[in-house]
Structure 1
Amino acid sequence: MDKIKTRDEIDEKYKWKVDKMYSSDEIWEEDFKAIKEHVSGLLKFKGKLHIGSELLNYLVTYEELLGLYENLMVYAHLKSDENKSNSKYQVMMDKIATFGAEFSGISSFFLPELLSLEESEVQESINSTEGLKHYEKYIKNIFEGKPHVLSEAEENILAQVSDCLSAPSNIYTMFTNADMTFPKIKNEDGVEVELTDSNYSTFITSKDRRVRKEAFKALFGTYKKFENTISTSYTASVKNNIFESKIRKYESCLEASLKPNKIPVEVYKNVVNTINNRIGSLHKYVDLKKKLLGVNEIHMYDLYVPIIDTPKFNIQFEEGVKLCEAALKPMGEEYISIFSEGVKDGWIDVYPNKGKRGGAYSSGSYTSMPYILLNYNNQVGDVSTLIHEMGHSIHSYYSRKNQSYTYADYVLFCAEVASTTNECLLMDYLIKNEDEKLKRLYLINQQLEGIRTTVFRQTMFAEFELIVHEKMEAGEALSSDDLNSIYHELNVKYFGKAMVVDSEIDIEWARIPHFYRDFYVYQYVTGFAAANSFYNKILTGGEEAVEKYKGFLKAGCSDYPIEILKAAGVDMTTPKPLEDTIDRFDELLEMLEREINK
């Protein structure tokens, strides 16, 4: 595509069929009016939840309204993403978002009122009220969290100060995105260009080492100037985590983050310990990169430069679909037919158009198609994105077909597993079936980089978070120098003796917005490791392994994530999935060396 087309210029077969949700905006408006009128009806159940029939009617009514709300929200956001300059759909988004806050306020009585009852009393209602048994696990989950729920008055106070507690994250976001500016640097042609946080990735992957070094020093030099401000923001965020975990009677911030989903704290620590035990594999990668770059010293700014020149790809969308179908062959006919029908039925918005949101995602409501936004541009990365997002959507398809509304949504711990399993199958297929040496080398290196950045890098982030929280929970006050020192030592450990750990990298922690979502990043590691395990089992275990994997896809949140994965054959409480992932990394390293030496 030489120029970006308007939406009207895109062939209809490449657009998602959002009209299957609402055939017109007028019908959307009718549903919006209806939900506005009916939502206050939830209040009639207030004070009556001790009666089994009233509790059941509340839950049924609430889910019906929530399902309608999700339809309204999904339609509005899909339509607004088609063309961000179309103000009509931005207004619709604002309307439904504003209503969402109203909906939450009206239904906020439910949790404290339910928890004010004795669990035995509620269990008696479940046993004696036809239809309420369906919600037993849902209600049990709520009561399991009861020791960490405060009184209604205390919860109300916490709700009132929620904006204050989120201030460190909001200040950091505003400061780094709106107020920070970076110096100009010279590009490969010697032309002065303005460095930004977003275009940094272009310069740090440049083949010109001068450009990489200049961008590296300019970016982190700027963060260094503001290290006291950003360290105060970050430690304030950690203090908020400590405050909330203590007031809710958790043993630690880590437990407060993991326990609601029944994930043992040992799973987190197992990630850090297992990767630490196998850190030699990353050292080998650094050694090989140094050798292939032909440098006397390898610096942190050399880490992202491709060691394999990017070959030219021109994979039309239809060809990309066929590649995905071939790669997914081990999944069996049913899975491939769902994939193919999804493409034909209008799940996917394929090409970029003027005003369309960038990137890619999978979305949808319980009753809609699992829609996919792409910005397909005929590169191998676009094929990888297609199969990744289809992994999400087929996961949603299976869970919604096999679970009721109550238990259909899978949690974050499981969210990236299906998409990454699909990607692993695609990369395996492409590497095995690529005859052109340069392309094969590129594909091998891409998968290596995927494991390096997702498994090793995110584990280093996770270890940094754990160290900082444990030190502050023990009463230590951490300055910017302390944070820089912790981060420096982690880089020395992770990248090994061959790497020159430049002092500028010490401040990189200040550039990671995910640190304001406590203990979040480790899930990238566990998701990748679980996916790698499933990919191996699917290739070697045949139909039985595929059926077990489909059991995972169908489970939604009908059980806790650790148990759902365990039932499908992947036990994330053990080191094995991570060990297998590093084994794959080692295998790819050997493959790369062999190919280069051919």
Structure 2
Amino acid sequence: MTTYTSRQDVPNNEKWNLEDIYSDLSKWENDLHLVENMAEKLRQFDGAITDGKSLYQYLKQREELSYTFNHVYAYSMLRVDEDTRDASSQSLLDRAKGLSVKVSASTSFFMPFLLGLDKETLSSYIAEEEGLTYFEEDLYESFRYKTHVLSKDQEEVLSQLGEALSAPSTTFGMINNADIKFGDVTNNNGEKVQLTRGMYSKLIEDEDRDKRREAYKAYYKPYIELKNSIASTLSAAIKNNVTMAKIRKYPSALEKGLFGDMVPKEVYENLIKATKENIAPLHRYSEIRKSKLQLDELRQYDMSVPLVQGVKQVIPYEEAYETMIKALAPLGEEYVSILKEFKDARYIDVRETPGKRSGAYNLGIYGVHPFILLNHQDDLDSLFTLAHECGHGVHSKLSSQHQPQITARYSIFVAEVASTVNEVLLINYLLNTEKNLEIRKHLLNHFIDQFKGTFFTQVMFAEFEKITHELAEKGTPLNVEVFNQTYEALFREYNGDTVVFDEEVKFGWSRIPHFYRPFYVYKYATGFASAIHLATRILDGDSETLQSYLTFLRSGSSDYPLELLKKTGVDLTTPEPIENAMKKFSELVEEFSVL
């Protein structure tokens, strides 16, 4: 594997080219000052919007400001992510963050003003100013929230409580990221060392079961020690959410969480119901895992170890890119040409270097192009990450090309569809072309485990959120016992009787940051199921599905997420996409069981 001690050593063609945003720093400085001036001008509209013309002028200038500000912010963020230790880049980002506060302050008057209008007045403004037709849908979308917005004075009070209401999330973040100290594990020299998260992700996959068990116990130790503190932060977060839903006149906290994407609660409930009705293959996979590991008892620390040992593929970046292009050929020539452009025009930052931000992401910048950050390790995981992020990247590029700025950004609800379609096409290609039986088994194992983590685990989390919020709505006290009982019952239901439960299992709720961002994780599961549904049809040669999928990638947020997906043939208001995904999972498990 290629390792670099410095960013300077990485070849230019494996580094993104930020000059596509600003060719030199003076242009960034100019735009920073330009946005400051634009923000000052926007302030002057406070109290001065009295007709269609002034409303149009405000919205037009706000969009121009947004366009330039996004460039200023993105450039400084990408610079920092190249090397988080670099003080000059950090200084640019600090200034961009300061600018963000000024921009927010200059536009904060607008939403209370807009929702203070009656619908007839807004309609008359739109009728008298032709330019407002561009903003019309957005304006009426804001009006959807009118019944859930309070008086100006009440909104002012709530905005001042914002920091206090986010305290449970902030507190958990500090416990989880700054204060937590894991237990000790034994290193290769037989010495006791403190476990870190990075070590845990490797040790929980170790062939040595004693090492896995030791790491598992050490990982859960602080969460169990801090159980009462964490239970109180999670309880407060849930109660805050329930209270805000009541104050804003939503029927329930769940419906408040789904309102923005206009998703009926039946979609959420249907996801859970259809998953549980088709859970048998997941239980079957636990039995296969127990058998292949030749264990008397299967425990939670046995759930992540790869079932096919000794298959360490080295896949250099150039080879990974070629493999991805071949795998995604079913998506057509335009799609493949965009992928080639990503590489040739340096949209991707490939290599891990000291100080570089960890992980991977895609950032689409309207008016420029997407930028993709990787930390490529020349292995199978990195190949899948490449295909995943390029899925987001092509989605960003096509939406930006085919949508005006106002609808170019797509919602998180549909974001994971494009990335997962790529992963399904990739695994299909690898399985069809791989002759080595052990590698085929390894590929199947890899995809089954990914399916489990991205779909089943997220549905289980989604059900935990639903149950705990409903308990709070009934006035049931939330504490360690309630969380433990709820989580353990769900874990047993989803994982089946094959798994023998350690004491730690029921404390799983205590380590999940997503629970502080309520009713969000279900989107991973719906996105994954939608992608399985689409990729299967595309691989079957269904040209109508392919064309509707490419149209979906060009659609940004030009319609609500469920409607965009319906146009591709995926209707999440029915059980069909979930059942199709379950069928695919069952096929993968069966194929793996006979290899």
Aligned to 1:492: 492
What's the secondary structure of 1:155's corresponding residue? helix
Q: Secondary structure at the match of 1:363?
A: strand
Correspondence list, 1:337-348, <5 A? 337-348=337-348
Match of 1:529 in 2: 529
Deviations 1:1-44 (A, max 9, x none): 45423122111111111101100111101111121122110122
Superposed displacement of residue 310, structure 1? 4.8
Q: Deviations over 1:254-278 (max 9, x none)?
A: 0001012201111111111111111
Counterpart residue number, 1:300 = 300
Partner letter of residue 589 of structure 2? Answer: L
**Where does residue 514 of structure 1 map in the other structure?**
514
SS in 2 for 1:131: helix
Aligned-partner Cα distance in 2 for 1:71–1:3: 31
Cα distance in 1 for partners of 2:288, 2:91 equals 53
Q: 2-side partners of 1:26 and 1:346: how far apart?
A: 22
Q: 2:14 — aligned with what? A: 14
AA at the equivalent of 1:104 = S
Aligned to 1:153: 153
After superposition, give the CA deviation of every residue in 1:347-386 in whole Å (9 maximum; x if it has no partner).
1111122322121110132111101111112112111111
By how many angstroms is 1:541 displaced? 3.9
Q: Find the residue that maps to 2:260 and give its secondary structure.
A: helix
> Are the equivalent residues in 1 in contact too, given 2:183–2:221 (CA < 8 A)?
no
Instruction: Determine the structure 1 residue equivalent to 2:333.
Output: 333
Distance 2:60 2:238 in 1: 39
Q: In the alignment, what sits opposite 1:414? A: 414
Q: Compute the displacement of 1:196 (Å).
A: 2.7
1:101 partner letter: V
Alignment check: 8 A CA contact 1:361 1:389 kept: yes
- CA distance in structure 1 between the aligned counterparts of 2:593 and 2:300, rounded to whole angstroms: 22
Could you tell me which amino acid in structure 2 is paired with residue 155 of structure 1? E
**Inter-partner Cα distance in structure 2 for 1:64 and 1:107:** 13
Alignment partners' CA distance in 2, 1:389 and 1:458: 20
Q: 1:163 maps to which residue? A: 163
In the TM superposition, what are the counterparts of 1:247-396 in structure 2 within 5 Å? 247-396=247-396
Q: Distance in 2 between matches of 1:384 and 1:117?
A: 50
Q: Give distance in 2, aligned partners of 1:221 and 1:79.
A: 38
The match for 1:211 is 211
Tell me which amino acid in the other structure corresponds to 1:116: G
Name the CA distance, whole Å, in 2 between partners of 1:511 and 1:157.
Answer: 32
Q: Which amino acid aligns with 1:381?
A: D
Cα offset, 1:192, TM superposition = 1.9
Unaligned runs of 5+ in 2: none
Structure 2 counterpart of 1:594, one-letter code = V
8 Å CA contact retained: 1:420, 1:531: yes
Amino acid at match of 2:346: G
Deviation, structure 1 residue 125? 1.7
Work out the CA distance in 2 between the residues paired with 1:310 and 1:526: 34
Aligned partners of 1:187, 1:590: CA distance in 2, in Å? 38
In the aligned structure 1, how far is the partner of 2:484 from the partner of 2:189?
34
Q: CA deviation at 1:56?
A: 0.9
Do the aligned residues in 1 keep the contact of 2:370 with 2:393 (CA within 8 Å)?
yes
Kindly provide the CA deviation profile for residues 400-448 of structure 1, in whole angstroms up to 9, marking residues without a partner as x.
1111111111111011110111111011100111111111111011110
Write the mapping of 1:359-508 to structure 2, written as runs, cut at 5 A: 359-508=359-508
In 2, the alpha carbon distance for the partners of 1:458 and 1:282 equals 14
Counterpart residue number, 2:56: 56
Which residue is equivalent to 2:228?
A: 228
Separation in structure 1 between the aligned mates of residue 281 and residue 435 of structure 2, nearest angstrom:
28
Letter in 2 for 1:489: A
Q: Which runs of 4+ in 1 moved over 4 A?
A: none
Measured in 1, the distance between the counterparts of 2:389 and 2:533 equals 19
One-letter code of the match for 2:269? K
Q: Which amino acid aligns with 1:205?
A: E
Q: Deviations over 1:244-302 (max 9, x none)?
A: 10110001100001012201111111111111111111110001111111111111111
SS in 1 for 2:193: strand
TM-score by length of 1: 0.97
When structure 1 is superposed on structure 2, of 417-426 and 297-306 the one drifting more is: 297-306
Q: State the TM-score, normalized to the length of structure 2.
A: 0.98
Kept in 2, the 8 Å contact 1:212–1:301? The answer is yes
State how far apart, in whole Å, the 2-side matches of 1:454 and 1:123 are: 44
Distance in 2, Cα, partners of 1:343 & 1:284? 41
Distance 2:245 2:198 in 1: 34
Which moved further from structure 2: 61-70 or 38-47?
Answer: 38-47
Stretches of structure 1 that go unaligned for 5 or more consecutive residues are: none
Task: Choose 542-551 or 282-291, whichever is displaced more.
Answer: 542-551
Q: CA deviation at 1:174?
A: 0.7
SS for the counterpart of 1:157 is: helix
* TM-align CA RMSD: 1.3
| 1:124 positional shift | 1.9
